[in-house]
Amino acid sequence: MKIIIVGCGKVGLTLAHNLTNEKHDIILVDKSQLVLDNAMLSIDCMSVIGNGAIQSVLIEAQVETADYLIACTSSDEINILTCLMARKSSKCRTIARIRNPEYAKQLEYIMSELDITMTINPELATAREILRIIKYPKSITSSSFFKGRLNSLLIEIPENSKIVGVKLSDANKYLKCNILICVIERNGEIIIPNGNSIIEKNDKILFVADNKNVLSFFSEIGYAYKQLSSFMIIGAGRITHYLVNLLLKNIPNCSIKVVEKDLSSCEDLASKFPNISVVHADATEKNVLIKEGMNDVGAFITLTGLDEENIILALLANNTKTKSIAKVNHLNFADAVKDMPIGSIVNPERIAANIILSYVRAAADSRDSDIDTLYRLFDERIEAMGFRIKTESIVTNIKIKDLKLKKNVVIAGIYRNGNVIMPNGFDELIVGDSVVIITKDNKFKNITEIVEQH
Amino acid sequence: MNIKKVLNHIGIMMILEAILMIIPFIVSLIYNESVGKIFIYCIIVLLIIGFFLFKFFVSDNKFYSAEGFVTVSLGWIVLSLFGALPFYFSREIPNFIDALFETVSGFTTTGATILSNPSNLSKCINFWRCLTHFVGGMGVLVLMLAIIPTKSENMQIMKAESPGPQVGKLVSKVSHTARTLYYIYIFLTALAIISYIISGMPIYDSICIGFGTAGTGGFVVTSNGCAAYSELSQTLIAIFMLLFGVNFNIYFLILIGKIKDAFFSEELRVYFIIVIISVTVIVLNIFNLYGNFNKTFHTAFFHVSSIITTTGFAIGDFSKWPEFSQTILLFLMICGGCAGSTAGGIKVSRIILSYKAATNELYTQLHPDSVKIIKFEDKPIQKDTIRTVLCYVVIYVIFILAGIALISLENYDFATTVSSVFETFNNIGQGLSKVGPTGNFSIFNSFSKLIFIVLMLTGRLEIFPIIMLFSKKTWKRSI
């Protein structure tokens, strides 16, 4: 595919690097010749100098023939304008980085009105990633469908879990929770299980469940951990705003303390979230953190603007009781400190780039198909794809147990009228449903291809 | 310095050269020449060494500009050394220095020769000699990039091998760019060869002269050069020479339908203006010699086209022209064709940029606080690019002067000394006086020939790569 990337910051370059390695044609647009020259030395791409929001620049970047345009300059407004201009002069799909929390509320409107295919907010994505780390610390990866209502998680079964040796068809009765185990990895081999499969210890499993059932499943299989409920956050930037919001919504009865040295930022945050405690202090000063109870919190999250400060503070706080999470922007730093005793490291640029990458990859693979979302798991050996059923077909209005599904195909979830249905053999697919299909060694372009055809 | 990777690339180049040598071998079969078996030996040697380098020097390490420069310059030297083997082993050019001179002259598309009568060579050897022009014209490494699957690092190679101050890509992938360039190149060459055949040239000559035109080389296969062909053929040769002196990006623009952009190219306009003015001035100056306008125009146009594109075909002895016309030709030698073409010389775009930089400098001397941006092809040019261009011109002059000093040891007349350095360094192959259309380079001793070999390689690779090869800093561990 031909992809134009406007803005060669960390996100833009990470994207360009990965996408060229995946054989896409990349055209970089940036205002600075210096940045482009440096990029061209290591990335096999073309470059156009100029402001991407100017039509002539976009035309020089051959926007007419491009499949995608990704606007990731530091300015939301330029990104929006760039996407708008690109849509006006070509049929390419557009992805914009929009990070200002104030625009978040009208995001849907902006997207539909300006025909932007996807927006990415690195700070919000980072906040979500931190939330995931806090909520499901044992999961290896997780992805979500139906706007976050259905999750697929990859976990390792602990040795003495009570689920070991249980037949899958009995699992839900046995565990008192509603989940669906879709894939098992055993000694490097990938199995799509059926009802008679038995779970063994040290299996890695991929299961889907809605938010409520994920937690109960975790505790049922023996990850008896207490939900972290007290958080100390250093720094009151954008990520903090998003994170506090997410924590308050997703973790009941949590207590949050934010330490920030800028008074107006403190006031801003305090006025927005009256239920949390905001402390105006310099976290790097001696005893401040001890005084505020650093050693008693469940998670210690450092989100200041300085990578060094984040790393050092996180090192200071990490102990058996407290899990520390540090935000590190600089990619080199993130690589250098990944073996240090810090609970987790989040990198907003990498998170944003990965989200866009998986989207573009999915788009490249699902061209001329009905796939809405596509994830690749287990080193890309398993595909999880979301379909929307638009018309009546051979798969609709028939009980799932009566469908002659192809080998290694699982219907993992149905989304109907705002509700998630964990399908069993007696459910039917109807027009208007969204469906998640998990499969191995199959390539589908259309939902009807999941059944054997004669 | 990642020498393993460099050697790996050179291994690939040698395998490519082996493949190319199959073509003259086929020619030897067609003409039933027993000397053709020489090529089989050379192919075997190249394949063995090439595969050895390719197999045993594998490295995934990064590739930076130093490696790019060394790959290109070392690659060209290796290629020339092995390319000289057929001449040497067939005993048709018994002296190895002479054989090397002839090969370097071929690959660098110079066209200077030590042979007084090229038609004495066997057909297949002569074909190989002309084929080196075709390969060298667009660049061997560009060919390599076009064929093998590549990574981003290869922009370094492309930059080091392609002529001109700014190397752009036509499409976003280096390998696609290289392939596109070769498609255009092959298409134009085929067009040239076919039109030569139609105009009545013998097929063998058409192909050889076609290669010479395409690479802007200048090797001929007859004893009296292009004078042996009809006037129509000569006109066609002149036109195709001019076409190969044009930046290949222009053809790409035409190919993708941006014809307007193509014709409004600043460099293209200046290039044609230079040609028109030179032809006019020379026609006026040499009119007395020929007396007939058609004949005068034909001769002037052919030689201007031949010299500015640094091809070096001749249909008459322009050493007999008045001094003024010869001086014009000397200027054209320095000027050369457009950047991104197969021509040599300083290149029209560098001349334009230097001129603009100079006028700018004069203006800022008068108005010290003024801010001026130099624009070329309607785009602002970075100060770095200007600096590189000016440095290039300075080093260019130094090389010319050093070359003249070393060649003057031979004690030939001034015109011979100067023009011989000009014609080798600018890859023209046609000088004045003793190295003019009637002379050749066999008059020089081995030392001078080695100097010419260095000059030709340096000129073709645009100086920097060769300097880098011999610079200590390139080889040191980078600190």
Of A341, A289, A292, nearest in space to A320 by CA: A341
8 Å CB contact of B173 and A41: no
Q: Helix B383-407 vs helix B446-460: angle between axes, to the nearest 10 degrees?
A: 170
- Who wins on pLDDT, A252 or A57? A57
User: Which of A318-332, B110-124, B156-170, B345-359 comes out lowest in average pLDDT?
Assistant: B156-170
Nearest-Cα distance to chain A for B118, in Å, is: 44
CA angle A433, A434, A437 (to 5 degrees): 125
Nearest CB to A44; choose among B64, B65, B174: B174
The pTM of the full predicted model, rounded to 2 decimals, is 0.79
| CA–CA distance, A12 with A359 (Å, rounded to integer) | 15
Q: Which residues from A are below 8 Å from B152, CB to CB?
A: 20, 42-45
Query: What's the average model confidence in pLDDT over A349-371?
Result: 78
Q: Which two tokens stand for residue A204?
A: 């890695």
DSSP 8-state assignment for residue A167: B
**CA-based end-to-end distance of chain B:** 11
Query: Cα A245 to chain center, whole Å?
Result: 17
Coil/strand/helix, residue A374: strand
User: Which residues between 19 and 38 in chain A have a beta carbon less than 8 angstroms from any beta carbon of chain B?
Assistant: 20, 25-27, 33
> Residue A81: pLDDT band by 50, 70, 90 thresholds?
very high
Q: Which pLDDT value is given to residue B276?
A: 95
Query: What's the average model confidence in pLDDT over B174-184?
Result: 86
Say how many CA atoms lie within 13 Å of B347 toward its Cβ. 27
> Residue B149: pLDDT band by 50, 70, 90 thresholds?
low
> With an 8 Å Cβ cutoff, is A65 touching chain B?
no
Given a contact cutoff of 8 angstroms between Cβ atoms, the answer to whether B34 and B96 are in contact is: no
Query: What's the average model confidence in pLDDT over A47-54?
Result: 89
Q: Residue B61: phi, psi to the nearest 5? A: -65, 165
* pLDDT, tens digit (0-9, with 9 covering 90-100), for B304-352: 999 999 998 988 888 888 999 999 999 999 998 998 888 888 999 999 9
Q: Which pLDDT value is given to residue B418?
A: 92
Q: Which pLDDT value is given to residue A380?
A: 66
Task: Give the helix ranges, DSSP H, for B199-230.
Answer: 203-214
The ipTM value here is: 0.74
For an interface test with B, give the residue of A44, A48, A62 to mutate (most B CBs within 10 A). A44
Q: Residue A48: phi, psi to the nearest 5? A: -130, 130
* pLDDT, tens digit (0-9, with 9 covering 90-100), for A407-439: 888 888 888 887 888 887 788 888 888 888 888
pLDDT reading at B167 higher than 70: no
Q: Which pLDDT value is given to residue B207?
A: 94
Q: Which pLDDT value is given to residue A454?
A: 61
Of B115, B136, B163, nearest in space to B16 by CA: B136
pLDDT reading at B237 higher than 90: yes
Query: Cα A285 to chain center, whole Å?
Result: 35
Cβ–Cβ contacts within 10 Å for residue A113, how many?
10
Q: Which residues from A are below 8 Å from B153, CB to CB?
A: 42
Of B445, B393, B396, nearest in space to B422 by CA: B396
Q: Which residues from B are below 8 Å from A5, CB to CB?
A: none
Question: Following DSSP, what letter does each residue of A84-140 receive, concatenated?
Answer: HHHHHH---EEEEE---HHHHTTHHHHHHHHT-SEEE-HHHHHHHHHHHHHH-TT-S
**CA-based end-to-end distance of chain A:** 34
Of B73, B112, B136, nearest in space to B333 by CA: B112
Given a contact cutoff of 8 angstroms between Cβ atoms, the answer to whether B236 and B154 are in contact is: no
pLDDT reading at A129 higher than 90: no
Size of interface A-B (CB pairs under 8 A): 30
Domains, chain A, ordered by start? 2-120 (3.40.50.720), 126-220 (3.30.70.1450), 230-352 (3.40.50.720), 366-450 (3.30.70.1450)
Q: Please report, as a single letter, which amino acid is at residue A445.
A: K
8 Å CB contact of B155 and A40: yes
> With an 8 Å Cβ cutoff, is A2 touching chain B?
yes
User: Which of A160-174, A193-207, A387-401, B11-25 comes out lowest in average pLDDT?
Assistant: A160-174
Q: Which pLDDT value is given to residue A366?
A: 67
Cβ–Cβ contacts within 10 Å for residue B277, how many?
12
pLDDT reading at A226 higher than 70: no
**Averaged pLDDT of chain B:** 88
> With an 8 Å Cβ cutoff, is A16 touching chain B?
no
> With an 8 Å Cβ cutoff, is A43 touching chain B?
yes
Q: Which residues from A are below 8 Å from B155, CB to CB?
A: 40-41, 44
| Torsional sign, CA B178, B179, B183, B189 | positive
pLDDT reading at B78 higher than 90: yes
> Residue A150: pLDDT band by 50, 70, 90 thresholds?
confident
| CA–CA distance, A118 with A355 (Å, rounded to integer) | 11
Q: Which residues from B are below 8 Å from A43, CB to CB?
A: 152
